[in-house]
Amino acid sequence: MKTDTIAAAATAVPPMGGAGIGVVRISGEDAILVADRVFFEGSGKRLADQESHTAHYGHIRDEEGVIDEVIVLLMRAPRTYTREDTVEIDCHGGAFVMQRILETVIRNGARPAEPGEFTKRAFLNGRIDLSQAESVLDVILAQNEFALKNSVRQLSGSVSSEVRRVRGEILHQIAYIESALDDPEHISLDGYPCRLKEIVSEQVRDIEKLLKNSDDGRILKEGISTVIAGKPNAGKSSLLNWLVGEERAIVTEIPGTTRDVLEEQISLDGIVLRLTDTAGIRSTEDPVEKIGVDRAKKSLTDADLVFYVVDSSTNFDESDAGIIELLSGKKTIIIFNKSDLAARTTPQEVKSLIGKENESCRFVTVSAKEQTGKEELCEAVREMFFAGKIFQNDQVYITNIRHKAALLDTLASLEQVKQSIDGGMPEDFYSIDLMNAYEELGKITGEAVEDDLVNEIFSKFCMGK
| C-alpha count within 13 angstroms, C-beta hemisphere, residue 304 | 18
Starting at the edge strand found earlier in the chain, the sheet holding 86-93 runs 39-40, 54-62, 65-75, 86-93, 19-27, 6-9, 111-112
Q: Which residue's CB is nearer to ligand GDP, number 368 or number 444?
A: 368
Residues contributing to the site for ligand GDP (CB under 6 A): 230, 232-238, 337-338, 340-341, 367-369
Tell how strand 305-311 and strand 224-230 pair up: parallel
Q: How far is the CB of 230 from ligand GDP (least distance, A)?
A: 6
Q: How far is the CB of 340 from ligand GDP (least distance, A)?
A: 5
Cis omega (within 30 of 0) for bond into 78: yes
Q: Which residue's CB is nearer to ligand GDP, number 242 or number 461?
A: 242
Residue 389: how many CB atoms within 10 A of its CB?
Answer: 10
Calpha distance 52→417 (Å, rounded): 52
Q: How far is the CB of 290 from ligand GDP (least distance, A)?
A: 19
Q: How far is the CB of 336 from ligand GDP (least distance, A)?
A: 10
Q: How far is the CB of 245 from ligand GDP (least distance, A)?
A: 13
Rounded CA Rg of the chain:
29
Q: Which residue's CB is nearer to ligand GDP, number 119 or number 312?
A: 312
Calpha distance 208→410 (Å, rounded): 10
Residue 56: how many CB atoms within 10 A of its CB?
Answer: 16
Q: Kindly report the CA angle at 159 between 270 and 400, in degrees rounded to 5?
A: 65
Q: How far is the CB of 237 from ligand GDP (least distance, A)?
A: 3
